[in-house]
Amino acid sequence: MNGTIAETQELLNSLVSGHKHKDNCQVVVCPPFTSLETAGKILKDSEIALGAQELSEHKNGAYTGEVSAEMLLTVGVSFVIIGHSERRQHHFETDQRVNNRAKTAIEAGLSPIICVGETLAQRESGETQNLIKSQISGALQGFSVDDFKNLSIAYEPVWAIGTGKTASPEMAEEVHSFIREQIAEINNEASENTPILYGGSVKPDNAAKLLSQPNIDGALVGGASLVADDFLKIINAF
């Protein structure tokens, strides 16, 4: 929940002018709903894609306050974050609802970025792998081979989001390779091709080390994406 329309406009104009094409590098920005239409216009002829931070699992109708996939498509959105830990924590987002939303997104032609990750208490009590396993299998339940084509997973340890504490590259890599194994159990072919992003206090000075790990394919950046220069440095580190 950062940025008025005017602030988003300023940020994206700097981003678009500073961004240079890179092979195999997809940049996506996911501003709040109110800024999406303006953002869509700014990004229209750029290489930066537009994403939303949430969508409704329902197509349309009496769901006050919700925003549908169709509404997102009309303003140029092509990606959507699903199951961010803040949604899970404050908005009762269960694995079942994450699964419903991911399916709704895929059916509409949107690419979901599905977030998973453990809290500090879960890590300290040795539950990380079990939790990730159930979040992945819950989120991807009933997915066909085709459903995997435009899907990304983001591993975001809850204790590292917005706290300045980052998982060490080795710690993150361990979970990323575990996630890839879990995807392989559902669909072997998809596991190689599914981008697995790391999120949680990614900054210009730690991005290169994180992104050089074999199973870290990208980053989901929060705070540092609010400063165009920092976000551009992270893209360049990739």
Which residues make up the interface to ligand PGA (CB under 6 A)?
156, 161-162, 199-202, 220-224
Considering the complex, what minimum distance in angstroms separates the CB of residue 23 from ligand PGA?
25
Catalytic residue among 57, 118, 156, 173: 156
Q: Quick one: 29 or 221, whose CB is closer to ligand PGA?
A: 221
Considering the complex, what minimum distance in angstroms separates the CB of residue 223 from ligand PGA?
3
Catalytic residue among 54, 84, 93, 118: 84
Active site residue 86: no
Considering the complex, what minimum distance in angstroms separates the CB of residue 84 from ligand PGA?
6
Q: Quick one: 109 or 162, whose CB is closer to ligand PGA?
A: 162
State which amino acid sits at residue 147: D
Cβ neighbours for 71, distance < 8 A, ≥ 6 positions apart: none
Question: How many Cβ atoms are within 10 Å of 84's Cβ, its own excluded?
Answer: 25
H or E element in which residue 185 lies: helix 169-186
Q: Quick one: 190 or 198, whose CB is closer to ligand PGA?
A: 198
Active site residue 84: yes
Considering the complex, what minimum distance in angstroms separates the CB of residue 55 from ligand PGA?
17
* The pairing of beta strand 48-52 with beta strand 79-82: parallel
Q: Quick one: 27 or 190, whose CB is closer to ligand PGA?
A: 27
H or E element in which residue 136 lies: helix 128-139
Sheet-wide strand order for 196-199: 27-29, 48-52, 79-82, 111-116, 152-155, 196-199, 218-220
Shortest CA distance to 29 belongs to which of 79, 72, 69, 67? 79
**Mind telling me the catalytic residues?**
84, 156
